[in-house]
Amino acid sequence: MKIGIIVHSQTNNTYSVAQKIQESLKEAGNEVEVKRVSMVGGDRPEDKKKIQLENPPDISQYDVLIFGAPVHAFALAPAMQIYMEQLPSLKDKKIALFVTKKLRFEWTGGSRAIGQMKNLCQSKDGIIMGTGIVVWNKNRDEKITELVKYFAGLF
């Protein structure tokens, strides 16, 4: 299976999780690529209008997609939102979603960001297989291992 892991990551937390997912899915015999969503302009909520994507990753070649992003201001990081809004149809694509975040409380944006990603994918007929939230605290390695194992079992 050809799997694309598409991530936005400013300080590499999300990217490092993507690399671990890639490693595990490769070991299971898949062809897996990690692509970054980068932008010119700001990535703060107040900069949203200024954001322009730089070479947005093409998803057409992948059977399975994993989207990852940080939580910003209790919501999905704006660059990822803009990227996902401009995606073509996701019909027949199996999809997993994850976010990383710093604050441990439930109401600090993780579920909201996952909900935003889910809605964007479902509006384009994608099939959501699973989701995960990694809180970037001292227990994160355990959580990342759990997420990697969970995602490996989804496809």
Ligand X SMILES: Cc1cc2nc3c(=O)[nH]c(=O)nc-3n(C[C@H](O)[C@H](O)[C@H](O)COP(=O)(O)O)c2cc1C
In the complex with ligand X, the residue whose CB is nearer, 59 or 103, is 103
Among 39, 66, 72, 121, binds ligand X (CB under 6 A): 72
Among 3, 5, 6, 14, binds ligand X (CB under 6 A): 14
**Residue 81 is a binding residue for ligand X (CB under 6 A):** no
The tokens 């992003």 sit on which residue? 69
Q: Are 60 and 75 in contact (CB under 8 A)?
A: no
Per-residue mark of binding to ligand X, 40-69 (x: CB under 6 A)? ----x-------------------------
Q: Measure the CA–CA gap between 144 and 139, rounded to whole angstroms.
A: 9
Q: Where are the beta strands (DSSP E) in 24-107?
A: 31-36, 38-40, 52-54, 64-72, 75-76, 94-101
Amino acid, single-letter form, for residue 66: I
**Residue 108 is a binding residue for ligand X (CB under 6 A):** yes
In the complex with ligand X, the residue whose CB is nearer, 94 or 101, is 101
Q: Measure the CA–CA gap between 37 and 57, rounded to whole angstroms.
A: 7
In the complex with ligand X, the residue whose CB is nearer, 28 or 73, is 73
Q: Which residues bind ligand X (CB under 6 A)?
A: 9-15, 44, 70-74, 100-103, 108-109, 136
